[in-house]
């Protein structure tokens, strides 16, 4: 039994390492991430905010990345306006009850989104209806839209201003890639807005 478990562990870690290695060698992904980081830095310098939306594990990623920015990432510095749209249970249940789950994030963007804000729309499949609706409303309101998705991209890839794809078709690997991408962008934002020697 122990050999079976350790073999499975090694296999899972190899899959993760392979995905991250592919990302580390993907020049197009690096360029897209640099563009996204630059857009975030410009938005924050202009007094705008970053919004994050996702379902399930992607909701957890949305909260995670917002927390890294509003609190701290590598070191102490002023907090940054970054918010997850997946956290307020009263808002989520009110919108779900009154307007339907597909309007969960779009309704919040209608209420608090402003021209120049940035929306990170996270969907491993790129097909989540409430995420697609959020992006459509965000674009109408003049937000910059950033999609985080998997290799295929789904409909999300064609809707967003920028699309960051983890090169995998497996949900766990895609989610791991999203956190690696998000952490890198947090690092770049922190370094550029509050420079500090490593």
Q: What is the pLDDT of residues 136-152, one digit of tens each?
A: 999 999 999 999 999 99
pLDDT tens per residue across span 94-113: 999 999 999 999 999 999 99
Look at residue 2 in the predicted model and tell me its pLDDT.
Answer: 76
Domain boundaries, the chain: 2-193
3-state secondary structure of 32: helix
Other CB atoms within 10 Å distance of the CB of residue 114: 12
The structure tokens listed for 187 are 């690092």
Which helix (H) or strand (E) segment holds residue 128: the answer is none
Give the distance between the most distant pair of CA atoms in the chain: 57
With a cut of 90, say whether residue 196 has pLDDT above it. Answer: no
* Res 198: pLDDT: 56
Contact 102, 133 (CB under 8 A): yes
Structural tokens at position 130: 């409430």
Q: What global pTM score does this model have?
A: 0.95
Give the pLDDT of residue 127: 97
pLDDT of residue 3: 78
In the chain, pLDDT over 90 holds for what percent of residues? 95
**Which residue has better confidence, 44 or 2?**
44
pLDDT in tens, 1-43: 777 889 899 999 999 999 999 999 999 999 999 999 999 999 9
First to last CA, the chain: 44
| CATH pick for 2-193 out of 3.60.110.10, 3.40.190.150, 3.30.830.10, 3.40.50.10490 | 3.40.50.10490
Query: pLDDT at residue 197 above 90?
Result: no
C-alpha atoms less than 13 angstroms from C-alpha of 50 in its C-beta half-sphere: 30
């Amino acid at each position: 039994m122990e050999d079976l478990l350790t073999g499975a562990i090694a296999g899972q870690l190899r899959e993760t390492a392979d995905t991250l290695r592919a990302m580390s060698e993907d020049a197009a992904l690096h360029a897209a991430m640099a563009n996204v980081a630059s857009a975030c830095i410009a938005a924050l310098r202009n007094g705008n905010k970053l919004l994050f939306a996702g379902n399930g594990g992607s909701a957890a990623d949305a909260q995670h990345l917002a927390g890294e920015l509003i609190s701290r990432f590598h070191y102490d510095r002023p907090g940054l306006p970054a918010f997850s749209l997946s956290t307020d249970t009263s808002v989520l249940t009110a919108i779900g009850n009154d307007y339907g789950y597909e309007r969960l994030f779009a309704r919040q963007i209608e209420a608090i989104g402003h021209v120049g804000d940035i929306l990170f729309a996270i969907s491993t499949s790129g097909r989540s209806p409430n995420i697609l609706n959020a992006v459509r409303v965000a674009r109408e309101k003049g937000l910059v839209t950033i999609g985080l998705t998997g290799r295929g991209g789904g409909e999300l890839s064609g809707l967003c201003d920028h699309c960051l794809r983890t090169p995998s078709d497996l949900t766990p690997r895609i989610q791991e890639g999203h956190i690696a991408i998000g952490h890198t962008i947090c690092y770049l934002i922190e370094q550029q807005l509050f420079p500090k020697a490593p």
